[in-house]
Chains A and B, each alone.
Chain A
Amino acid sequence: MVFAQAPVPRDIGAFEWLADPDSWTGTNGILASLADTVVLCAIVVVVATITMVPLAAWLAHTRRGEVSVSWTVTLSRAIPTFAVAGLLVPISLRRGWGFEPWPIFIALLLLALPPIFLNTYTAIRQVDPGVVDAARATGYTETDVLFRVELALATSVILAGARVAAVTVVATEPIRAFLGGDGLGRYVRDGLGQNNDGLVIAGAILVAGLAGLTALTFRSIERFALPDGVRRLATNTTP
């Protein structure tokens, strides 16, 4: 099986290339690359959310490890994603795990964890103590307090954390193309390597477009996912 990889003409304009239906189809087409990128990013954000939200919620509810938590999160934000992925690639190759997906998955996961953790932790810590006391006085169990009061009131901030994580991950995922992988970053990589400015610009537009679309999608999720009580509260307090 021959993989058609016809070179893109060097003098092509970014929009001319984007408008060509042939650019979108095939194994190296935009649609296939887009699917690669979206699947990886979705898995990263989901894994980050299902691990970090319970951990942060429990730590915040029980008021545990405040100093160590804040330090860990601050330091983890200083991790250089490209360097992590770049260091992991040779290790992964030597173990026979290939270029993908482990190195890029781990690097992106490290990028996605802090915003989700931090938003969940902060949101639950900032729930009005009066509300929590009132709930306890009414006879709520600790589990009820966590799930029906604290997490419910924190929903929008937690979702905002997931949005920040998702947009960062989508905007960073293209480094995968520079580490033996493919995905939406391949056009920037090929354009840079082949001295093809049109292709670089088109690739950048695609990546930025997907990041923008991700932000919009999360905004609408944030609007519809609020618990009824919280939404009523929000509409009542807004004049």
Chain B
Amino acid sequence: MSLTMVKKLLIPMVALAIVVTGCSSDDGDAVADGPTIQLRGQAFSEAVTIAEVYGQYLQAKGYDVEILTPAGFRTEAIDGLRDGELDLIVDYIGGSLTALAPDSPSSSNPDEVVAIIGPAYEEIGATLGDYSPAVDGDAFVVRGDSPANTISDVADLGYVFGASAQCFERPQCYLGYTDPAIYGITFSDTVTIEFGPLLGEALAAGEVDAVVWNTTAPQITEQGFKVLEDDQGLHPAQNIAPIISTEVLDAYGDQLLDDLNELSGMISTADLLAWNTETDIAKRESDDVASEWLEAEGVN
């Protein structure tokens, strides 16, 4: 147990003791009573930090939040929300689109994406909050010395393509790159690589010539790669957005949604990149990175 965890456990206990002994003092954050909000991040560093930011923010606002150990990915998060195991998740809207409505056309316009996933989340008893200006989208990444500037430029370069298994079955990924009606790229070979730092290692070593990564991967600038422009608008909009159980939202009232939307509005793409640099390059703990950011924003 880290010192910060001990502190985090102790501070509410001490606070509770003070409240209990001095019952008359009633000047804290007055928030309507409601159930404990169960929040769980997806199991990769950026999502873990995002979950910590939302969780600690709500705790600072006086809500009863439990930040569970990160586990699983999008499928597990949405299933947890549907089953009532989780009350709050944070996802990338384009990712939610592929999970909830795989047959819908993807769009690089966030409003169009939200128009589809909003009702889809309502169907599973959840409410989609406003999307944040912070975007972590798909990035078509090549080495810095590549002659290409747009994804279309890659069409006839005979590149070896590396991506995770998910990419190879998605219309917004491999299928879209190779579709003659969209990019029509002819890759000389494909390699399936676990999503993460291995993508950068393979690209740097010349095992592959192009990989699909995420735009906020700090290694992209760190290792001198470049992100090609998605000139055909294939990649969906990937703004982050919180999704909260409608039942919990009704218990707390609209103030909770207003608070969530206020936080979403505060986070920028540069913040995501900065968090990932802290956690992935400097190897710091997500909860510390989150609380420092909230402090700098004047929340904590």
Contact = CB atoms under 8 A, between A and B. Distances in A.
B215 to A, nearest CB: 21
A26 to B, nearest CB: 13
A15 interface: no
Pairs of residues from A and B, 10 with the lowest C-beta to C-beta distance, nearest first? A193-B165, A7-B169, A93-B205, A190-B165, A93-B201, A193-B166, A194-B169, A90-B201, A180-B193, A3-B190
A3 B187 contact: yes
Interface in A88-121: 89-90, 93-94, 96, 98-99
Contact of B191 (A94, A99, A178): A99
29 contacts: A1-B186, A2-B186, A3-B189, A3-B190, A5-B168, A7-B168, A89-B198, A90-B201, A93-B205, A93-B207, A94-B205, A96-B205, A98-B205, A99-B191, A99-B207, A177-B192, A180-B162, A180-B193, A180-B194, A180-B202, A180-B207, A190-B165, A190-B168, A190-B192, A192-B165, A193-B164, A193-B165, A193-B192, A194-B169
B140 interface: no
Interface residues of A, number: 25
Interface in B58-96: 75
Contacts of B187: 2-3
Interface in B172-205: 174-175, 178, 186-194, 198, 201-202, 204-205
A93 B202 contact: yes
Nearest to B171: A7
Interface of B: 75, 162, 164-166, 168-169, 174-175, 178, 186-194, 198, 201-202, 204-207
Contacts of A7: 168-169, 175
Contacts of A3: 187, 189-190
A98 B202 CA distance: 8
A163 interface: no
Task: Output the residue of A1, A180, A182 with the most chain B CB within 10 A.
Answer: A180
A195 B75 contact: yes
Contacts of B207: 93, 98-99, 180
A89 B175 CA distance: 28
Interface of A: 1-3, 5, 7-8, 89-90, 93-94, 96, 98-99, 177-180, 182, 186, 189-190, 192-195
B191 A180 contact: yes
Contact of A5 (B166, B188, B190, B206): B190
B105 to A, nearest CB: 18
Nearest to B164: A193
A46 B178 CA distance: 42
A1 B192 contact: no
Contacts of A186: 192
A179 to B, nearest CB: 8
A186 B194 CA distance: 12
Contact of A99 (B164, B166, B202): B202
B214 to A, nearest CB: 16
Contacts of A193: 164-166, 192
A162 B202 CA distance: 35
A131 B275 CA distance: 72
A229 B21 CA distance: 90
B224 to A, nearest CB: 15
B143 to A, nearest CB: 14
A166 B75 CA distance: 37
A93 B169 contact: no
A204 to B, nearest CB: 16
A93 B204 contact: yes
Contacts of A178: 194
B202 to A, nearest CB: 6
A98 B187 CA distance: 18
Contacts of A98: 205, 207
Given A2-B178, A90-B201, A193-B164, A180 B192 contact: yes
Task: Output the residue of B164, B165, B186 with the most chain A CB within 10 A.
Answer: B165
A190 B204 CA distance: 24
A5 B162 CA distance: 13
Contact of B206 (A96, A179, A180, A190): A96
B201 A89 contact: yes
A93 B208 CA distance: 11
Nearest to B194: A178
A90 B192 contact: no
Contact of A194 (B165, B186, B188, B193): B165
A112 B206 CA distance: 31
Given A2-B178, A5-B190, A195-B75, A180 B198 contact: yes
